[in-house]
Structure 1
Amino acid sequence: MKPHSIATINDLPKDEKAAIYRKFIPQVLLENFSIAETYLDSQGRSLLRLECDAGTSNVILDLRHEENSPDPLLYAHLTDTMYDQIHVLLYVVNDPRSPRFEVDRMPDGTPTQFGLFKRNIPAEIEAFKAGLAPGQVRRGLRILRYSIASFEEFVNSLGHDLFFVEPLAYHNAIVFERYGFNYQQGRRFMEQIHLGFQPGGHLFERLDGSSPFREPGMCDSIRCRSWAIHDGVLGMPYHDVTMYKRVGEHAGIDTYPDGDW
């Protein structure tokens, strides 16, 4: 029987499920970093790690460009919805050749959990100055269009016509909008954020220079808005936003019209 969910893929033999999960790895990653189709390096060590135990409905995919690389080239965490549709909980692509910023850990090594529980402020300031967005430890590779195309092919192979994503930050949601995603929940929240950043709005007024992430004028870019939100300008966490993408369709949603990066 053809698999239709993460759970049914995970119950397959090891080689079969690995072959299926490799489908959503963008080919451009393999080409740009000279990764063999076997996912082995020149010494026979695997560059791809999969956590997809039988009896579970989760998969974690971790692809490195070198076996001893400190950060993944691609890291993805997928799960099933209650209706066996695919839900992307996390999808991160790093440029391993770019400088690293320690925003993911405190000076003593304690994880920050994307800055949700702890924040390494000096590292965040450096990342911000270098042009990164909240949560990024390295620059990305700007391959989202290829990632979405590969993912649509993967989802379609399972017999589905849509998939869900969890944008972890404001900028993620805006970028997803521009690639055709719609909102399952959170659209009104996003629209209220945009209104709040307009001149005279409550968020606009909070950009008072009280921190490096709340300078006047930061309302005028997607990335800077996201840093201000990460810094707590909303007065509440950025949460409860879930989006979805229909295969081959563009939803045409735009909660930040003409917004620059």
Structure 2
Amino acid sequence: MTPSTIGGINKLPELEKRSVYSRYIPKELIERFDLSDLMNNKDLLQFRFAEGSSDVEMTLYHQANFQDPILYAHMADNLNGQIHILLYILNNPESPRFDVDKMPDGTPTRFGIRFRNIEAEINAMNAGLSPGQVREGLHIFRPAMAVFEKFILGLGHEMYYMEPLYYHNAIIFERHGFKYQMGRRQMESINSGFQPGGGLRQMLDDSNPFRSSNAAESIRLRSWAIHDGVLGEPFTNVTMYKQVGKKAETNTAPGISW
């Protein structure tokens, strides 16, 4: 019987751990990039899942030694033994790369929280990317979520949690059926601030590329403005959850397009 927690899975022999965690790899990735025998391919499928730890990091590459993975996932047990997704990234390796994750000298930006590579961010924004993206995504969030929910059910859970790193992440999760455990009032306040006459909208003064006057009408551009500091503080303290097989109807930004 498969353990119900990350901590429990991490106590299994390595081959069993790889087998369990591989269950949430979307088949769309395997088919598109012709990834066979991943179980035994430690160049393409890498894990950090030390025995005794309560978290796991999966890194999946489409080819060995490529700069970025096609899938990166970091999960942990929360205090109640539920699965909490800390970070989930899908990258299209065939798309252009923007070095928003590092400074020109190679220093990591830590998602733009510690440092910001402004030139790379402007180029990424103009190319249609959102904050934090080094490449465009693979546009398979829905099937990826479906296979992850199957994985969650296999562990005996009926819900799981997600930590949106940016404003646009929270909106994406909303539109895929997530609810807020914490942060809904903050999200509603942000939406109010971007309305005509709102304090956030007044800060969209075209003073730099991230604060364009039309950003209020776009989820993606709102997120860039927030990343640029219009809130006066980092975007934090938002936690969401989803019940497996159910879609909530949360909408904190009605009528706002991507």
TM class, shorter-length? over 0.9
Q: How many pairs are equivalent?
A: 258
Q: Which residue of 2 aligns with 1:11?
A: 11
Q: Which residue of 2 aligns with 1:107?
A: 104
Q: How far, CA to CA, are the matches of 2:12 and 2:42 in structure 1?
A: 23
Shift of 1:46: 2.8
Change (3 A) 1:240 1:45: closer
Amino acid of the structure 2 residue aligned with 1:31: E
Q: How does 1:172-183 map to 2 (within 5 A)?
A: 172-183=169-180
Q: Which residue of 1 aligns with 2:115?
A: 118
Contact 2:95-2:135 at 8 Å conserved across structures = yes
Shift of 1:134: 0.2
Q: How far, CA to CA, are the matches of 2:62 and 2:85 in structure 1?
A: 22
Contact 1:23-1:154 at 8 Å conserved across structures = yes
Question: Helix, strand or coil for the counterpart of 1:91?
Answer: strand
Q: How far, CA to CA, are the matches of 1:85 and 1:37 in structure 2?
A: 30
Q: How far, CA to CA, are the matches of 2:136 and 2:142 in structure 1?
A: 16
Q: CA RMSD in A?
A: 1.0
Contact 1:45-1:67 at 8 Å conserved across structures = no
Contact 2:38-2:45 at 8 Å conserved across structures = no
Contact 1:98-1:139 at 8 Å conserved across structures = yes
The reply to whether residue 58 of structure 1 matches residue 72 of structure 2 is: no
TM-score, normalised relative to structure 2:
0.98
Q: How far, CA to CA, are the matches of 2:56 and 2:38 in structure 1?
A: 20
Contact 2:38-2:44 at 8 Å conserved across structures = no
Q: How far, CA to CA, are the matches of 1:245 and 1:19 in structure 2?
A: 24
Q: Which residue of 2 aligns with 1:37?
A: 37
Name structure 1 gaps, 5 residues minimum. Answer: none
Question: Helix, strand or coil for the counterpart of 2:225?
Answer: helix
Q: Which residue of 2 aligns with 1:46?
A: 43
Shift of 1:258: 2.1
Contact 2:18-2:39 at 8 Å conserved across structures = no
Shift of 1:67: 0.4
Q: How far, CA to CA, are the matches of 1:38 and 1:191 in structure 2?
A: 43
Shift of 1:196: 0.2
Shift of 1:209: 1.0
Q: How does 1:144-183 map to 2 (within 5 A)?
A: 144-183=141-180
Amino acid of the structure 1 residue aligned with 2:239: T
The reply to whether residue 82 of structure 1 matches residue 79 of structure 2 is: yes
Contact 1:164-1:242 at 8 Å conserved across structures = yes
Shift of 1:71: 0.3
Q: How far, CA to CA, are the matches of 2:43 and 2:209 in structure 1?
A: 42
Contact 1:39-1:46 at 8 Å conserved across structures = no
Amino acid of the structure 2 residue aligned with 1:250: K
Shift of 1:39: 5.1
Change (3 A) 1:2 1:30: closer
Give deviations 1:55-102, integer Å, cap 9, x for gaps.
Answer: 110100000000010001100100001111000000000000000000
Q: How far, CA to CA, are the matches of 1:230 and 1:2 in structure 2?
A: 40
Question: Helix, strand or coil for the counterpart of 2:89?
Answer: strand
The counterpart of 1:135, out of the listed 132, 137, 143, is: 132
Question: Helix, strand or coil for the counterpart of 1:174?
Answer: helix
Give deviations 1:24-79, integer Å, cap 9, x for gaps.
Answer: 11110110111113356xxx663100111111101000000000100011001000
The counterpart of 1:246, out of the listed 216, 238, 243, is: 243
Amino acid of the structure 2 residue aligned with 1:207: L
Question: Helix, strand or coil for the counterpart of 1:20?
Answer: helix
Q: How far, CA to CA, are the matches of 2:143 and 2:203 in structure 1?
A: 38
Give deviations 1:208-245, integer Å, cap 9, x for gaps.
Answer: 11111001111000000000000001111100000001
Q: How far, CA to CA, are the matches of 2:206 and 2:139 in structure 1?
A: 31
Q: How far, CA to CA, are the matches of 1:5 and 1:53 in structure 2?
A: 14
Q: How far, CA to CA, are the matches of 2:71 and 2:5 in structure 1?
A: 21
Contact 2:5-2:81 at 8 Å conserved across structures = yes
